[in-house]
């Protein structure tokens, strides 16, 4: 006779966002390989006859990302060896969650730009995935920032190679001297072959050089972020955004970043690591948001560890935000969390019931910080 413990119902696992293209129609590797011969060498079949991808092979995951962006989103895309390779369904989840935040009636909408939605992607990377998806899926405009030459160069290439949305995306070079640098107009520089994998001929004109990496050596307090500007010094005076988003460096060392043997997404030290890890990095975004609270409706970031989510939520209460929302992003065996906050007074009072253990992904958790803050 089975024990009562075995009868206990397991919590329902969070799911992909219902608006995600892959929610009801996951990628069919066999069909994609027949349509795109470049993917065929990376597809193999398991004993049960199902097509598979070797997730530990960087070239395999990069080619799959390229094909998915082209096939399902009409986007031309490529990154050089070693740069962080994003997974399209997971990144789409984040975009659609922000769409939910913006459409919520909890805080008033910004009508200054009409129906134009403007986002800021902190550390957009060579892949520039969030601006590309946000612009192609929803027509949003973006500023994407990054600190390394290769990230800025290739992000700009990926924008140029998608002329139908190129006017919606600006790539901004971040410098150590707290200045905001714009990339030259997308028509400048040499032409780029956008038909398949982009070549390396295009150039990006830089207005300032980064200081040597030694300028960003960690301070004695390893829990404090010490690096290039994130929002302060990059957002320009008078600029207004509907949201910011970020896929932060999750780890404190590259050894820690390489502990998952089941995947190979690449990633440079600048993309994967910072002193204090994601806790210090997102804490700096929170500190910047206190100063820039009038410039954004929503501040958001992805979080890699649930224990850090709890710490950061506590930090947000300390700085007096009016609302915090969280969600869980799930793709395969990988879990990430979304954290969002705002200083805009809510249009209605929010009272949160106890969060149920079986709540699905994208069920938003609300925290009423203080009615006093709502009235300020």
User: Does the pLDDT at position 5 exceed 80?
Assistant: no
The pLDDT-based confidence of 332 (bands split at 50, 70, 90) is low
Least confidently predicted of 9-13, 106-110, 163-167, 359-363: 359-363
Tell me what pLDDT residue 349 has. 57
d(CA 72, CA 375): 45
Give the other-Cβ count within 10 Å of 256's Cβ.
13
Highest-scoring range by mean pLDDT, 5-9, 23-27, 52-56, 229-233: 229-233
Q: Confidence band (pLDDT; 50, 70, 90) for 289?
A: very high
Q: Which of 337, 289, 334, 288 is nearest to 309 (CA)?
A: 337
Pairing mode of beta strands 241-246, 296-303 = parallel
Q: Which two tokens stand for residue 213?
A: 């990496």
Q: From edge to edge, which strands make up the β-sheet containing 118-122?
A: 180-182, 169-174, 141-146, 118-122, 241-246, 296-303, 334-342, 323-331, 367-368
**What pLDDT is recorded for position 86?**
94
- Tell me, rounded to whole angstroms, the distance of Cα 184 from its chain centroid: 24
Q: How far is CA 77 from the centre of its chain?
A: 17
Specify the range with the lowest mean pLDDT, choosing from 33-47, 227-241, 255-269, 312-326: 255-269
Helix (H, G, I), strand (E, B) or coil at 367: strand
Task: Report the range of poorest mean pLDDT among 148-157, 163-172, 318-327, 355-364.
Answer: 355-364
Stretch 253-268: mean pLDDT, rounded? 68
Closest CA to 327 of 21, 88, 93: 93
CATH number 2.30.30.140 is the correct assignment for the domain at 87-176+222-342: no
What pLDDT shows up at residue 262?
56
pLDDT single digits (tens) 184-200: 333 333 444 444 555 44
Residue with the bigger pLDDT between 333 and 30: it is: 30
| Pairing status of strand 334-342 against strand 296-303 | antiparallel
Locate tokens 């989510």: which residue?
309
**Token duo for residue 41:** 């060498």
Render pLDDT for 20-52 as a digit per residue (tens, 0 to 9): 999 888 999 999 999 999 999 999 999 999 999
The gap between the terminal CA atoms of the chain, to the nearest Å, is 61
pLDDT band at 251 (very low <50, low <70, confident <90, very high): confident
177-193 burial code (b ≥16 CB/10 A, e <16): eeebbebeebeebeebe
Instruction: Write the Ramachandran bin of 256: left for phi over 0, alpha for psi from -120 to 50, otherwise beta.
Output: alpha
- Any known ligand binding at 247? yes
146 belongs to an annotated ligand binding site: yes
Can you tell me the mean pLDDT for 158-171? 98
**Confidence bin at 268 (pLDDT 50/70/90):** confident
Kindly state the average pLDDT of the residues 282-290: 97
Residues 6+ apart with CB under 8 A from 313: 324, 326, 339, 367
User: For the residues 331-358, what does the mean pLDDT come to?
Assistant: 70
pLDDT reported for residue 73: 97
Return the SS3 of 106. coil
123 labelled as ligand-binding?
yes
pLDDT of res. 111: 62
Q: Tell me how far CA of residue 13 lies from CA of 18, 360, 370, in angstroms.
A: 14, 7, 32
62 phi and psi angles, rounded to 5 deg: -65, -45
What does the alpha-carbon distance between residue 129 and residue 164 come to, in Å, rounded to a whole number? 16
Q: Which of 19, 132, 26, 25 is nearest to 70 (CA)?
A: 132
The predicted pLDDT at position 12 comes to 55
Domain ranges of the chain: 87-176+222-342
Burial class (CB within 10 angstroms; exposed 0-12, middle 13-18, buried 19+) of 70: middle
Is the pLDDT assigned to residue 362 strictly greater than 80? no
Output the pLDDT for position 222: 57
Least confident of 81-90, 221-230, 293-302, 304-313: 221-230
pLDDT attached to residue 120: 98
Residue 298: pLDDT over 80: yes
- Give the model's pLDDT for residue 115: 81
| pLDDT at site 363 | 39
Rounded average pLDDT over 332-341 = 85
220, pLDDT greater than 70: no
What average pLDDT does the chain have? 80
Q: Average pLDDT for residues 101-113, to the nearest whole number?
A: 81
Whether the predicted pLDDT of 202 surpasses 80: no
Residue 81 assigned to a binding site: no
Classified as helix, coil or strand, 96 is helix
Reply yes or no on whether the pLDDT at 287 is more than 90: yes
């Amino acid at each position: 006779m089975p024990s009562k413990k075995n009868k206990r119902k397991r919590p329902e696992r969070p799911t992909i966002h219902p608006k995600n293209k892959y929610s009801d129609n996951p990628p069919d590797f066999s069909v994609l390989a027949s349509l795109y011969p470049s993917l065929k060498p990376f597809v193999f079949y398991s004993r049960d006859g199902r097509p598979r991808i070797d997730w530990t092979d960087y070239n395999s995951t990069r080619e799959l990302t390229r094909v998915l962006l082209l096939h399902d989103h009409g986007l031309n895309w490529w990154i050089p060896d070693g740069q962080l390779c994003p997974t399209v369904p997971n990144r789409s989840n984040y975009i659609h969650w922000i769409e939910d935040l913006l459409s919520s009636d909890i805080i008033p909408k910004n009508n200054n730009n009409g129906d134009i939605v403007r986002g800021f992607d902190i550390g957009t990377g060579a892949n520039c995935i969030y601006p590309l998806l946000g612009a192609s899926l929803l027509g949003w405009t973006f500023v994407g920032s990054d600190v390394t030459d290769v990230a800025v160069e290739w992000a700009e290439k990926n924008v140029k190679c998608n002329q139908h949305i190129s006017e919606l995306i600006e790539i901004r070079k971040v410098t150590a001297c707290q200045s905001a640098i714009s990339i030259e107009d997308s028509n400048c520089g040499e032409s780029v072959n956008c038909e398949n994998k982009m070549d390396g001929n295009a150039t990006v004109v830089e207005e300032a050089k980064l200081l040597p990496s030694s300028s960003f050596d960690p301070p004695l307090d390893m829990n404090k972020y010490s690096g290039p500007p994130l929002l302060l010094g990059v957002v320009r005076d008078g600029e207004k955004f509907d949201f910011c988003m970020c896929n932060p460096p999750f780890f404190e060392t590259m050894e820690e970043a390489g502990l998952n043997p089941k995947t190979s997404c690449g990633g440079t030290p600048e993309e994967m690591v910072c002193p204090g890890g994601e806790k210090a990095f997102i804490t700096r975004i929170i500190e910047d948001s206190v100063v820039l609270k009038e410039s954004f409706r929503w501040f958001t970031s992805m979080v890699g560890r649930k224990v850090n989510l709890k710490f950061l939520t506590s930090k947000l209460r300390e700085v007096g935000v009016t609302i915090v929302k969280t969600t869980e992003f799930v793709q395969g065996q990988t879990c990430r969390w979304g954290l969002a906050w705002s200083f805009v007074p809510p249009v209605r009072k929010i009272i949160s019931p106890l969060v149920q253990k079986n709540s699905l992904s994208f069920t938003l958790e609300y925290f009423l910080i203080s009615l006093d803050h709502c009235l300020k």
